[in-house]
Chain A
Amino acid sequence: MTQVHIASPLRDYTHGASPVRAEGATLAQLLADLDRRYPGIRFRMIDEQQRIRPHIRIFVATREARDLAQPVAAREPVHLLCALSGG
């Protein structure tokens, strides 16, 4: 099980919880499992072409993931961040 840290704009889906747990050997598998547990959360981060949305950043441990093929090793935490500028 991976510990997944949820940015505040996404915590409506986790009923305020962060971190939460999800399972998967890759980011794709992990986000699929996260969406099973918290329906709808994945589409707010990943578009229908399976791209990470422009203002979302995903870190596996301290490595920023560029796509969903990124492996997730056991005990590596995942951070889901929201990045936006402007008012």
Chain B
Amino acid sequence: MATNLTLWIGTRKGAFALRADAQRRRWRLGPPQFLGHTIQHIVQDPRAPRQLLLAAKTGHLGPTVYRSADRGRHWQEVRIPPAFAKSAEGQAARAVERVFWLTPGHASESGSWYAGTAPAGLFRSEDGGESWAPVAGLHEHPSFPQWAPGWKTPDGELLHSILVDPRDARHLYIGISVGGVFESTDGGSSWAPLNEGVAADFLPDPNVAFGHDPHCVTLHPLQPDRLYQQNHCGIYRLDRPERRWQRIGRAMPARVGDIGFPIVVHPRDPNTAWVLPMDGTSVWPRTSVDGRPAVYQTRNAGRSWQRRDRGLPRGQAWLTVLRQAMCTDAAATPGLYFGTTGGEVWASTNAGESWRCIAQRLPEIYSVTAAQG
């Protein structure tokens, strides 16, 4: 049973708190906060649960971060938001357009956070998000201009899926869309690509070390050598110390395919994960396949997948769910939640078996995150 569960919904027009009762049956939608601001990601600090960070931008204004010390009742803008170093004369001048992703640092490093941006940049805070500094080991890596060439994709070049190994604060993974997955074992001082086995069938040479398009990468908190990836070109699993990803999406039904944005792992079972397939054919509609939304679940690390669509619309439902808009909670039978770009939030309190809509008519949803306690 979950208690005091809040889903934080980041939308194109503000932040919303959706609070559950103890049984997760009734949900109460709070009033908009930051109405009119673009809210990309809202993340609770598991080391200090009263604290949250929120990544914001406004149509006209530059990107910033807000901080709450009282579970999201009040927010204050941080003192120094993420910003690239001033470029030397003649060098490409990167400026943060959007703070896209927030990840709390290692449990042993209280107050540490990471932020990923568009265009791709990695930033670290050591004071609870009050001030941020670029992770120079990435930005000044001689290959960084090739790893993150600054492709002007519609939503920008994104750095996301910042993963901290719970056993080792210095062991990090990041995803860059488009760029690939990269790993550091020295706290971000040096980085190397980690993309073997991943398809990049949009490139002239698909057998490249980087240039891939990970949409969402996650590791299992209890088995941190187990990574899952929803990529532009399929679903993958990697069990370290192996370096070659296995395309577990091949076990998905061919008519559904293995394209999507989010991938979410069960909080306690490393063999269980969920994806939300989308239409990645022709011009990439990125909507539910055939207008029939479904979550797919694996319980054996991707050897097989089961369709989970009870309660979801049976047809004519052209949903899009972005990479940050699906999450679980920490309950014994985990809840699973997703938000759509059409402003609906869907919930399953039985690990995906059945679904119901718990909020609708919200602005375009960018992120759904669970906050406990």
Contacts and interface: CB of A to CB of B under 8 A. Distances in A.
Interface stretch (B60-68, B205-213, B236-244): B60-68
Interface in A42-56: 43-51, 53, 55-56
Contacts of A40: 64, 77, 79
B58 interface: yes
A48 B95 contact: yes
B83 interface: yes
B interface SS class: loop
Contacts of B77: 40
Contacts of A51: 93, 95
Contacts of A47: 62, 83, 95-96
Given A48-B83, A48-B86, A53 B93 contact: no
B60 A55 contact: yes
B49 interface: no
A53 B97 CA distance: 9
Interface string B83-115: 111110000011110000000000000000000
Nearest to A43: B62
Given A39-B79, A49-B86, A49-B87, A44 B95 contact: no
A48 B139 CA distance: 15
Contact of A83 (B58, B60, B87): B60
A43 B78 CA distance: 12
Interface string B70-83: 00000001010101
Nearest to A85: B59
A49 B61 contact: no
Interface residues of A, number: 21
Contacts of B84: 48-49
A65 interface: no
B95 A55 contact: no
B61 A9 contact: yes
A9 B62 CA distance: 11
A49 B81 contact: no
A82 interface: yes
B87 A10 contact: no
A84 B96 contact: no
A40 B81 CA distance: 9
Contacts of B59: 9, 55, 82, 84, 86
A49 to B, nearest CB: 4
A86 B94 CA distance: 25
A53 to B, nearest CB: 5
A9 B38 CA distance: 13
The 8 closest A-B pairs by CB, nearest first: A82-B60, A47-B95, A48-B83, A44-B61, A49-B93, A55-B60, A84-B59, A44-B62
5 contacts: A7-B60, A45-B61, A48-B86, A49-B93, A49-B95
Given A43-B62, A48-B95, 13 more contacts: A40-B77, A43-B83, A44-B61, A45-B62, A47-B95, A48-B86, A49-B86, A49-B93, A49-B94, A53-B61, A55-B60, A82-B61, A83-B60
